[in-house]
Structure 1
């Protein structure tokens, strides 16, 4: 790749890589990975070029080629998404640092590429590309050329406008007309969450806490988002109350964030309550609320981290699948109870196992049981399972291999 110095050569190389990995016009899982890794390598090498316009054009070409592949490839590994993001990050870096003489070329490239059928079909990524035009717009004529792309990229489901449309417009207004004009535009479109977020962040940065709080509280009252995902407004309010040292309201926001699934805030709440001397009276009620509101795996991870083994034991009893991860910790304080859960779950999984992959899963459980301190019991289970299922040759094979390894 380092010897390819023209866009024509690079285009040929890209098409060759794609053609070599296709099977009957489709990119299978491994082929898609190989192609995407090769394209990312090309992008990395292009970033070393002194010719920034050539590097920019390489990014645009590869961006479109990846979008074309998405409908004809197994992209389940995420490699295609990584390649798209790598393209866009490169375009952003090159756009941000564009010299005066390169801006017209780069803006023209973005406008032309955004009109490509692939960008229109994948409008979210098309808008991702178009957003970089903000760094390149020089006058109102340039702005109109950007705005003209919006109708081509269309709307989201339910005929809702893509929020990127407003964010791009706000960025261009700020670039051409100044902050005050951009702020006025934002205030006129507060119904778009991304616009409201811009104003909130700007207000906090300017220490206009009353305005920021008002904007967040209004949005929070109307929030109907994912119950297991904290609303962004709660995070902003927590920051506002932290900076204003309004502890009571800060605690309220942290509780909301916690109950909506972000357990990383548990320690912050604990520390605040300890400073206020209220942790002991808060702890029990909070853990009960978290039990009612968190997903079981999140609650179990939190209890494990906090050393709440008694409550963790109850969660694992209700969801034995977690014993593999927390059995060793539980066995330190509640060996009999933990071992009982292990044995019941192992026998249940063994009875349901029907292929070698599942047999290996049973053996992994037994190994976890062994490492939790139940060495003789684990060996006994192996013998018992071999006796129970003598006709499951593959299972017996896996169990005997495990038995041999545990003897060492």
Structure 2
């Protein structure tokens, strides 16, 4: 199938999908417990296939073949042959992100072989030597967590956060490990401080956990500083309105929506009935803004859906007025007029 990729348009991913399914089938075969002769035969065939020049430039698929091949290594001779070829693959890597990802996969293969042929002690040493690979750091953290060695979890996680700066997903993963360690070890102050970091990064779940860690009276003195810190950030995080709703901060929520009229459909129920007039005004503003941008029947129908939503919250007279206003503003849009006249009051 690989030669086909050089001449075919695979923008739909069909050829790649066939290759991936084939590789998955090979992996399943290798795990099925083949007889010794069949296993040795498949081992050599896969090793030869992975060595072909046709896989130059397709390192991910070459490595998938080698990962499957590793499951068929059954003795020292095969291991020596296999590792020789695996090391030649390592030599082709550079400093790119994709190469670092492939290097991690290669190290994971070697780790499995060491565990299989040399035992847990040597495998643990290899893992420690390659701890800067995220996969290995994750394994080490899991082991430390299982052993209730929370100081080690904290150290490994902090080292990961330092090393993987700029990689938000990994940093978040290491912080979550730290948070769990602090929770399990009863380190409340550290847990609270880390929860604040998560909150300032947009988490609502950690906000709820932080709040639950305080008695009500103490939380009343903590909350103002936290919401102020969120407000002082560049741009609001997604958790900001959720926090305002949780704390019953209707005035702040109204100010937030005023700056973003399109959000009125999301938050109006939390502003009614106290801010009835403001909700009506923001709904109308949002409808008029959308009408200004609309240029096809689909968009007109969406605007009419907004008007029907406006009707449902008890603003029938103002809904009539906005329909009349739209008919007057856009007399040369017959499709829009047709959709507007379908609205039943």
When the two structures are superposed, what TM-score results if normalisation uses the length of structure 2? 0.79
Segments of 5+ residues of structure 2 without an aligned counterpart are none
Among 144, 148, 152, the alignment partner of 1:211 is 152
> Counterparts of 1:70 and 1:264 in 2: how far apart (Å)?
47
Of 256, 274, 278, the match for 2:218:
278
2:331 aligns to what? 390
SS at match of 2:144: helix
Q: Which residue does 1:245 correspond to in 2? A: 186
Match of 1:288 in 2: 228
Alignment match, 1:198: 139
Larger displacement relative to structure 2 (101-110 or 278-287): 101-110
Quickly say closer, same or farther: Cα 1:356–1:288, change in 2 above 3 A.
Answer: farther
Tell me what 1:98 maps to. Answer: 33
Deviation, structure 1 residue 358: 2.4
Q: Deviations over 1:65-87 (max 9, x none)?
A: 99889962235xxx999988877
Is the CA contact 1:328–1:369 (under 8 Å) kept in the aligned structure 2? Answer: no
**CA spacing shift, 1:285–1:118, aligned 2, 3 Å:** farther
Aligned length: 338
Unaligned runs of at least 5 residues, structure 1: 1-60
Shift, 1:236, TM fit? 0.8
Report the counterpart of residue 377 of structure 1 in structure 2.
Answer: 318
The corresponding residue for 1:73 is 11
User: Offset of 1:191 from its aligned partner?
Assistant: 2.7
Using a 3 Å threshold, how does the CA distance of structure 1 residues 249 and 338 change in structure 2: closer, same or farther? Answer: same
| TM score, norm. by length of structure 1 | 0.69
- The alpha carbon displacement at 1:219 in A equals 2.4
Aligned to 1:17: none
SS at match of 1:396: helix
Task: State the alpha-carbon separation in 1 of the partners of residues 243 and 15 from structure 2.
Answer: 34
CA-CA distance at 1:240 after TM superposition: 1.0
Q: Alpha-carbon deviation of 1:123?
A: 3.4
CA distance in 2, matches of 1:68, 1:264: 48
- What residue number does 1:123 align with? 59
Matches of 1:132 and 1:181 in 2, distance apart?
22
Shift of 1:360: 2.5
**Partner residue in 1 for 2:73:** 137
Mapped contact 2:287–2:307 kept (Cα < 8 A): yes
CA 1:331 to 1:84, structure 2 compared with 1: closer, same or farther past 3 Å?
farther
Deviation of 1:131 (Å):
3.8
SS of alignment partner, residue 369 of structure 1? helix
2:327 & 2:99 partners in 1: Cα distance? Answer: 61
Structure 1 residues 19-34: aligned runs within 5 Å: none
Listed one character per residue, the Cα deviations across residues 217-244 of structure 1 (whole Å, up to 9, x for unaligned) are 2222344225688521111111111111
Residue from 267, 282, 288 that aligns with 1:341: 282
Alpha-carbon separation, structure 1, partners of 2:82 and 2:264: 60
State how far apart, in whole Å, the 2-side matches of 1:360 and 1:187 are.
60
- Alpha-carbon deviation of 1:103? 4.4
Provide closer, same or farther for how the CA distance between residues 148 and 237 of structure 1 changes in structure 2, counting only shifts above 3 A: same
2:202–2:237 contact (8 Å) kept in structure 1: no
Deviations 1:170-199 (A, max 9, x none): 222222211211221122223323322222
**Inter-partner Cα distance in structure 1 for 2:170 and 2:297:** 37
Q: Contact 1:359–1:398 (CA<8 Å) still a contact in 2?
A: yes
Equivalent residues of 2:160, 2:171 under 8 A apart: no
